[in-house]
């Protein structure tokens, strides 16, 4: 294995280990010694890659931002089923990601201001902007009900997904596909234009599940 590849593996192991400990114990409590031990590397190796815990947190946030982008870009590419179905599929992929991927989960929490030193928008804001753009696109497609506000729908979706993530930390049922499907089943008849509604799959499409990263 080339030296560069080894270094990249070590870096990724440290990011994964930091995400696990930030997620379990919180940013403040997690210690660099525990993070390096869990990654199976020396303290010296950790300090070679990351100057501080804040730098490590920033790396977790960046890795999570890439995974979020992969999820949302994947959704956007497959937008031929319409913006609303793309949004449903993407929200299912994100919630699956929250259940399975500790880097994604920890990255969203680091966006809470703790440990974040980056200048880019935090992940919650990026996700919110993306949802808002998807609803705006649905409106342009004529797929939104005439009396439904894209802004209000954005608040509801971003709020509920953030709530399912927070509640899912204690009870995984909140992150189950069934919970999100029930939410969409409730919301869609309110926000989707009548003729569009029949074609929408609240549980997400099979194509969406295959194409999207999680």
Q: Is there binding between residue 113 and a second copy (CB under 8 A)?
A: yes
Q: Which of 166, 172, 199, 206 binds a second copy (CB under 8 A)?
A: 166
Q: Is there binding between residue 121 and a second copy (CB under 8 A)?
A: no
Smallest distance, Å, CB 54 to a second copy?
15
Which CB, 25 or 77, lies closer to a second copy? 25
Q: Which of 6, 8, 9, 28 binds a second copy (CB under 8 A)?
A: 28
Q: Is there binding between residue 170 and a second copy (CB under 8 A)?
A: yes
Q: Which of 7, 51, 155, 206 binds a second copy (CB under 8 A)?
A: 155
Q: Which of 33, 112, 121, 140 binds a second copy (CB under 8 A)?
A: 112
Q: Which tokens hold the place of 87?
A: 């949004």
Smallest distance, Å, CB 66 to a second copy?
21
Q: Which residues bind a second copy (CB under 8 A)?
A: 25-26, 28-29, 111-113, 122, 124, 147-149, 151-153, 155-156, 158-167, 169-170, 174, 179, 182-183, 185-187, 189-191
């Amino acid at each position: 294995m080339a030296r560069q590849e080894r270094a990249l593996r070590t870096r990724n192991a440290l990011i994964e280990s930091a995400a696990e400990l930030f997620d379990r114990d919180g940013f403040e409590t997690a210690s660099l010694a525990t993070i390096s031990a869990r990654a199976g590397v020396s303290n010296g190796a950790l300090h070679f890659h990351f100057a501080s815990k804040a730098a490590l947190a920033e790396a977790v946030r960046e890795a999570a931002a890439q995974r979020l982008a992969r999820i949302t870009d994947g959704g956007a590419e497959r937008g031929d089923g319409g913006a609303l179905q793309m949004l449903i599929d993407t929200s299912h992929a994100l919630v699956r990601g929250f259940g399975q991927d500790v880097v994604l989960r920890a990255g969203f929490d680091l966006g809470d201001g703790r440990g974040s030193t980056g200048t880019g928008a935090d992940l919650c804001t990026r996700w919110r902007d993306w949802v808002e753009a998807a609803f705006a696109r649905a409106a342009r497609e004529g797929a939104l009900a005439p009396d439904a506000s894209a802004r209000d729908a954005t608040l509801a979706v971003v709020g509920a997904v953030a709530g399912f993530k927070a509640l899912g930390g204690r009870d995984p049922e909140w992150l189950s596909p069934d919970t999100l499907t029930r939410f969409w089943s409730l919301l869609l008849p309110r926000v989707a234009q009548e003729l569009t509604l029949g074609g929408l799959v609240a549980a997400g499409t099979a194509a969406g599940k295959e194409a999207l990263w999680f």
